[in-house]
Structure 1
Amino acid sequence: MRVHLVDGTYELFRYHFSPGNRDPERGAARGVVHSMLQLIDDGATHVGVATDHVIASFRNDLWPGYKTGEGVPAELLAQFPRVEEALEAAGFCVWPMVQYEADDALGAAARQAIRDPQVEQVVICTPDKDLAQCVTEDGRIVQYDRRRQVLIDHDEVIAKFGVLPESIPDYLALVGDTADGFPGLPGWGARSTATVLSHYRHLEHIPDAVGQWEVSVRGSAKLAATLADNRDLALLFRRIATLADDVTTFDHLQQLRWSGPTAAFPAIMGELGGEHLVARAEELQRRHDQA
């Protein structure tokens, strides 16, 4: 069995800002429903979709510059509850996040799903670098960029970032993440960070004194001094970049099994201008019932 976990927030942004979106009030929500039905058409059976019901999370209490909904178009924000309602009516398991983020739900669900021996693989459908920390060496948890049709496995994470998946939060703590709104430490770039973390793996293993370093990095004296002076800040950034593991998602795999459209689906899709998706969902349901 393969479990697909989808970043609904990413999907909503992707469809809203698509050059082909001519309906800014409803087009993104309609596009996400279409995308999820396509996932079923492609063979997915067990699917969970996580969304940021509100953009702010507990991380905003940790760092004042952390991302908020500021700057997000109002017509896009208004579609979050609409797409959640539409996906549930389409028969999908949906996790709208308030205190936590969609990424937290995806990570928690992946870890929970993989504990079940029935699950051969968990596919986290998002290109978001934060989820790279969940990828496993045995290939049982991978990422998949559906837009580019690129699989991101253990080797690909190392090739892209220069560190193991387990070191991704440490990596982001040092280099920063402009999309999430925390700056990292001055001078720590992608190359120097990868070189140091490929050896030490985690922040607490990096010595304060550059004379104790077992790797050679350009500007190492300054980097070591910066880390020594800002270690607590780096650890805070790592906490921000680490996916929470106490998010409630599902209790049993059966909850993730696509159940087909409900009686509410036609009316909701009518409001979203997606009447054509009703027949498609019903056809997919017939196929699944016959399988």
Structure 2
Amino acid sequence: FGFASMLVKILTDYGPKATVVVWDAGSSGRKEVYSEYKAQRSSRPDLLREQWPHLEPLVDAFGYRNLKVDGYEADDVIASIAEQAKTQDPPIAVMVVTGDRDAYQLVDDQVSIMTTSRGITDTRVYDREGVIDRYGIPPELVPDFIGLKGDTSDNIPGVPGIGDKTAADLLQRFGSLETVLDSIDEISGAKRKQNLTEHSEDARLSKHLATAKRDIPLNGLDVAEFVSEPPDRSRLRDVFREFELRDPLRRLEEALGSAEAAAPAPVTERALFARPREGTLTDVARIVADAEVALAIRTPDTPEGALFGDNQQWRFGVYADSTEELVIGQCARPEELVAAVAARPVIAHDAKSLGQVPSHLVHDTEVAAYLLEPARRAYPFRELCEERGLATDVEDGAGADARLMQALAAWQREEVRGRGLTDLLMEVELPIVRILREMEQAGVKLNTEGLHAISERVKTEADELERQIFELAGVQFTLGSPRQLEEVLFGKLGLSRKRRGKTGYSTDARVLQAIRSEHEIIPRIERWRELTKLAQTYLDALPLLVDPGSRLHTTFNQTAATTGRLSSNNPNLQNIPIRTPLGREIRACIIAEPGHLLVSADYSQVELRLLAHIASENVLKEIFGRGEDVHTATACRVFGVEPEQIDPAMRSKSKMINYGIVYGLSAYG
């Protein structure tokens, strides 16, 4: 992601310039001079190692050149390119994009440095004055600077006890490393003198290691003749989609122009240019009985809906690819359209939103997009089409949506088949669409009287906490105001300030936890916040959302979690706390109808069982074979205690470790 983002930024900010990406292919003899050079660096993380083979082809797709020179570091190759560029007539200006600060030694009238600040795309360009402003020394003294202070990233030793400021001060005073070493008697501080005397050769070695070589062979590269090829737009889009680099892809298409960057859609033109006819639900019912139809609908509150009818009508489009029929019209409710298509094979986008899931749903473009890109935040239909080059110049409306849906589905089916996901889509995900819609329609019974009783009790406790907080603070204030709370805690009571934000010092949960032991007011504030949040979010809000039968209807999201789990919203019932007594009381107010039961069922640590099987992990197999709790067993190993000594907090931490490994946790985070 970072590498692709930087390449996109270069293209966006500077256009298609002659660009070369240089790779390390040796140490330029530095390891022979100093065996500990870069010795502290660990091997690449597994995730980075897996991505590494794709980086050079990505550079090719941008139209840039990859360059390695056997035996030499990339820094020296870059320095030699910059040196060659300066000797041209006229000289060629060079910008070096790097995160290594030893490259600042290259800066002059013809060479500038772009480096990242906060985040990949937050960059700064340094010229000579910029280097002086940052380090207090000119670029040509950067090797001397590193000679004095060292460079931990390359394991260059420098002189102990000398940091950036001291190194800059010494060079400003004496002008060079050699002059500093010749003038030790004039330098203040006994320890500093001792270190400079004892480590003078380390300083000279460090300067040598930090000095860029500017005369290495460049494998025939002639800077004067070098030009970049045009970006391979189709290839770039495919690579970015493969690795789910959506934000870089968006910025890339903005740079190249979305229409130009779009790959040709793998569909016939007739799918996008069928002639629509205004019709009715009766016309929909007359479409060939076994024809697969793409079904799109626009809500009454869209601009298109406002143009037709009385804002109570829904605009629809139904497209049959096999017969090239496209019917557009309006209906009072989406369910009427579903009834009109009857048992025909249906393609839809978010079929649940139709109110009634078609009886023969054969493809859902939202669900398919989720299977292809599970880490994506959302799956807007037109956005998906635009990414495939399908919606760049067609009209807006339900009719266009229906035609585009057929085209998008055709591409998705090929992708799903190619990735071996067809069975998952057809046998698991699509049937779940119908089940979830039925669950939403059925809703759950809510014990509103029970919630009201809890709410009254919570209000009483919160009022008492508020009284105690005001008494401890010695002043009344708006407890829900972070600004006023900040003034009380850090101004009036003088508690420790931990983190400053844009508008003042933070009083969030992490800060309160950190200063909990400083004053008895803090636990009361934390409890008050817990109670008021539960009251506002659940105790007072949920009873207002029930239907006349006291049933609560949430929306289940099938395409929200990368792990494949469901989520819910409007309201979010899954966020009701389960680990606190009050949260469990609220959950207990979701009840079954008389004569029925609510059954809770869950797989028993299914991910870890799969891990044990796939990895042939014998320890896990033995734990499961003995019927033991795997999290307790892990806790025993982590904390070195017996099972009976494991408390809930220790088990919870071990559970995080176990599941973290399954979902990508590593030594690097």
TM-score relative to the length of structure 1:
0.70
* Amino acid corresponding to residue 128 of structure 1 in structure 2: D
Q: Which residue of 1 aligns with 2:465?
A: none
Residues 114 and 176 (structure 1), Cα distance of their counterparts in 2 relative to 1, 3 Å cut:
same
Q: Distance in 1 between matches of 2:101 and 2:245?
A: 35
Aligned to 1:49: 21
Shift of 1:87: 1.0
In structure 1, the residue matched to 2:153 is 179
CA contact (8 A) 2:37 2:154 kept: yes
Alpha-carbon shift at residue 120 of structure 1 (Å): 5.4
More deviation, 261-270/113-122 = 261-270
Cα distance in 2 between the residues matched to 1:118 and 1:58 = 33
- The answer on 1:251 being equivalent to 2:225 is no
Corresponding residue SS for 2:42: coil
Q: Contact (CA 8 Å) 1:209, 1:224: kept in 2 or not?
A: no
After superposition, give the CA deviation of every residue in 1:157-198 in whole Å (9 maximum; x if it has no partner). 122222221111111111111111122112223222212212
Q: What per-residue deviation string (whole Å, max 9, x for no partner) do you get for residues 94-146 of structure 1?
A: 2235522222222221121122234453211224211110111x3x2111225
Aligned partners of 1:34, 1:185: CA distance in 2, in Å? 37
Correspondences of 1:31-110 after superposition (within 5 Å): 32-33=3-4, 35-44=6-15, 45-52=17-24, 58-68=29-39, 70-96=42-68, 98-110=70-82
Q: 1:98 to 1:80 in 2, by over 3 A?
A: farther
Report SS of the residue matched to 2:21.
strand
Matches within 5 A, 1:156-171: 156-171=130-145
The residue number in structure 2 matching 1:14 is none
1:202 aligned partner = 176
1:154 alignment partner, one of 114, 123, 128:
128
In the TM superposition, residue 283 of structure 1 has moved relative to its aligned partner by 6.1
Aligned residue for 1:234, secondary structure, equals helix
Map residues 22-37 of structure 1 onto 2, 5 A cutoff: 28=1, 32-33=3-4, 35-37=6-8
CA contact (8 A) 1:86 1:268 kept: no
Look up the match of 2:329: none
Q: How much does 1:266 deviate?
A: 6.5
- 1:83 Cα deviation (Å)? 0.8
| Contact 1:266–1:275 (8 Å) recurs in 2 | no
Per-residue Cα deviation, 1:235-255 (whole angstroms, up to 9, x for no partner): 111111111223333213332
Q: Secondary structure at the match of 1:144?
A: strand
Cα distance per residue 1:44-67 (max 9 Å; x no partner): 41212112357x663233223222
Q: State how far apart, in whole Å, the 2-side matches of 1:191 and 1:266 are.
A: 44
One of 122, 137, 152 as aligned partner of 2:94: 122
Contact conserved, 1:164 with 1:198, CA < 8 A, in 2?
no
Structure 2 unaligned segments of length 5 or more: list them. 262-669
Name the CA distance, whole Å, in 2 between partners of 1:222 and 1:182.
21
Q: Which amino acid aligns with 1:148?
A: D
Deviation at 1:209, TM superposition (A): 5.0
Amino acid at match of 1:194: A
Rounded to whole Å, the distance in 2 between the matches of 1:184 and 1:169 is 11
Distance verdict in 2 for CA 1:202–1:283, change over 3 Å: same
Q: Secondary structure at the match of 2:114?
A: strand
Quickly say closer, same or farther: Cα 1:237–1:172, change in 2 above 3 A.
same
Give the aligned residue type for 1:143. I
The secondary structure found in structure 1 opposite 2:122 is: coil
Residues 79 and 63 (structure 1), Cα distance of their counterparts in 2 relative to 1, 3 Å cut = farther
Give me the whole-angstrom Cα distance separating, in 2, the residues matched to 1:254 and 1:244: 23
Structure 2 counterpart of 1:234: 203
Alpha-carbon displacement from aligned partner over 1:194-237 (angstroms, at most 9, x marks no partner): 122123332222354534x3xxx541x44344333332221111
Distance 1:200 1:239 in 2: 19
Contact 2:69 2:217 in 1 (8 A): no
Q: Name the CA distance, whole Å, in 1 between partners of 2:49 and 2:37.
A: 18
What SS class does the counterpart of residue 52 from structure 1 fall into? coil
2:113 aligned partner: 143
Distance 1:270 1:191 in 2: 43
3-state DSSP of counterpart to 2:19: strand
Calculate the TM-score normalised by the size of structure 2. Answer: 0.33
Conserved in 2, the CA contact under 8 Å of 1:121 and 1:141? yes
- Residue identity over aligned pairs, in percent, reads 27
| Partner amino acid, structure 1, of 2:208 | R
Structure 1 residue identity aligned to 2:62: A
- The 2-side partners of 1:158 and 1:93 are apart by 32
Instruction: Measure the CA separation in 1 of the matches of 2:136 and 2:75.
Output: 22
Taking the aligned partners of 2:72 and 2:46, their CA distance within structure 1 comes to: 21
Structure 1's 113 and 79: CA in aligned 2 closer, same or farther, altered over 3 A? farther
Equivalent position SS for 2:68: strand
Output the amino acid matched with 1:188. I
**CA–CA distance in 2 between the matches of 1:209 and 1:101?**
34
> What pairs with 1:218-233 in structure 2 (closer than 5 Å)?
218-219=188-189, 221-233=190-202
Higher CA-based Rg: 2
* AA at the equivalent of 1:155: E
Over the residues paired in the alignment, what is the CA RMSD in angstroms?
3.4
